[in-house]
Amino acid sequence: MSSKPALTSYQLGNTELKNRIVMAPMTRSRALNNIPNDLMAEYYAQRASAGLIITEGTSPSPNGLGYARIPGIFSAGQVAGWKKVTEAVHKNDGKIFVQLMHTGRVSHSLNLPEGATVLAPSAVALPGQTWTDQQSMQAYTPALAMTSEQLVEAKREFVQAAKNAIEAGFDGIELHAANGYLLEQFLSPHTNQRTDLYGGGVENRARFVLEVVKEVSDAIGSGKTAIRLSPFGTNNDIRNYPGVDVMYGYLAEELNKLNIAYIHINDQSTGNKPEVINLVKESIRKKFSNTVMISGGHTLMSAEEAIRSGVADLVSFGRPFITNPDLVNRFHKNLPLNIKLDSGTLYSPDAKGYTDYPVFEEELLSA
């Protein structure tokens, strides 16, 4: 057994992890026509030394495909594509959850398939621009406020996507309720100005998220259901509001009742955003008995410290996994990390800057 606690095994819900280092979800925009492919299978298989991989944000609905070339998991072709990914990761002894991300108002209609609509809790436009393959940068498409029927339909889509994920061989699913996408758009009073049961006070604004969690968990099992939150995050024009701590305390209590596998807390402060107040992290830890995962700017040392002190059970790494496909092997052997991230190829469509980052031995040979 390793003397480094982060490199010891861990029982996560139904899934046995070989270590506590998780690959954080990262959009990489290689899914041409929104269908996972062989290149993506290769990329994830290269990173299977992680205790757990969480895939890039993947849409449960045609309406949630707001960025160019992000994958979906609602059609038969997408499920078949994901099967290649899960098989490749499992073959390399890895475990993999899919992140279900509905982009909501963070979207451009050119990125959506025909017939799909940009929807959000309320018609509050997102300032700024986003990439489209057809017309380069474009202003975000103003979203339409979801009707009651569209709320029901969106929940049904999340549930079906979760079932599809199990059919595709995933070990579980993570609901993306962070970083300003649809689920967080319900939590925040700026983006949720509804006057029905899904808007207003904390309980009403949390209702859609908790109903999605419950229905997904009933469909695939609570041990395979997880969620990502970003308290105090301001990505995609989420604005801080009085009572953020009350919202996340309430969510932690309710999620605890639902007995889901983990809460993944994303601290956006590495992206120059306000720091997640430690008190909120502590309060989630106190109120939620199952696994807590933390994310944002970690090193092996900070991960060890968080696990040793009981702040978290698992720690996820984003950018280090892009540039070090063999990240966990490097941690095992105390090898230096490659920190040269090519930002120009983060979201480009091909293998360059995706599957061609070297493992340590290749790096030595080319030096």
Ligand X SMILES: Cc1cc2nc3c(=O)[nH]c(=O)nc-3n(C[C@H](O)[C@H](O)[C@H](O)COP(=O)(O)O)c2cc1C
Say how many residues touch ligand X, by CB under 6 A. 23
Query: 140 vs 321, which CB is nearer to ligand X?
Result: 321
Tell whether residue 296 is a contact of ligand X (CB under 6 A). Answer: yes
Distance CA 82, CA 4 (A): 33
| Residue 45-84 contact track with ligand X, rule CB under 6 A, x = bound | -----------xx---------------------------
* Amino acid, res. 364: L
- Backbone phi and psi for residue 304, each to the nearest 5 degrees, phi listed first: -60, -45
Point out which span in 24-32, 36-44, 82-90, 240-248 binds ligand X (CB under 6 A): 24-32
In the set 6, 12, 24, 168, which binds ligand X (CB under 6 A)?
A: 24
Tell whether residue 164 is a contact of ligand X (CB under 6 A). Answer: no
The per-residue DSSP string of 105-173 comes to TS--GGGSPTT---EESS--PPPSEEEETTTEEEEPPPPEEPPHHHHHHHHHHHHHHHHHHHHTT-SEE
Encoded tokens for 33: 């026509």
Q: Exposed, middle or buried: residue 116 (CB in 10 Å: 0-12, 13-18, 19+)?
A: middle
In the set 204, 270, 302, 323, which binds ligand X (CB under 6 A)?
A: 270
In the set 319, 329, 345, 349, which binds ligand X (CB under 6 A)?
A: 319
CB 144 → ligand X: shortest distance, Å?
24
Closest CA to 121 of 222, 210, 189: 189
Tell whether residue 204 is a contact of ligand X (CB under 6 A). Answer: no
Distance CA 184, CA 226 (A): 15
Distance CA 347, CA 349 (A): 7
| CA 247-250-256 angle, 5° bins | 135
Tell whether residue 331 is a contact of ligand X (CB under 6 A). Answer: no
In the set 346, 348, 349, 358, which binds ligand X (CB under 6 A)?
A: 346
* Amino acid, res. 247: M
Tell whether residue 318 is a contact of ligand X (CB under 6 A). Answer: yes
Query: 242 vs 340, which CB is nearer to ligand X?
Result: 340
| Residue 172-191 contact track with ligand X, rule CB under 6 A, x = bound | ----x-xx------------
In the set 15, 26, 35, 358, which binds ligand X (CB under 6 A)?
A: 26
Catalytic residue chosen out of the listed positions 10, 181, 262, 354 = 181
- Which residue numbers are catalytic? 181
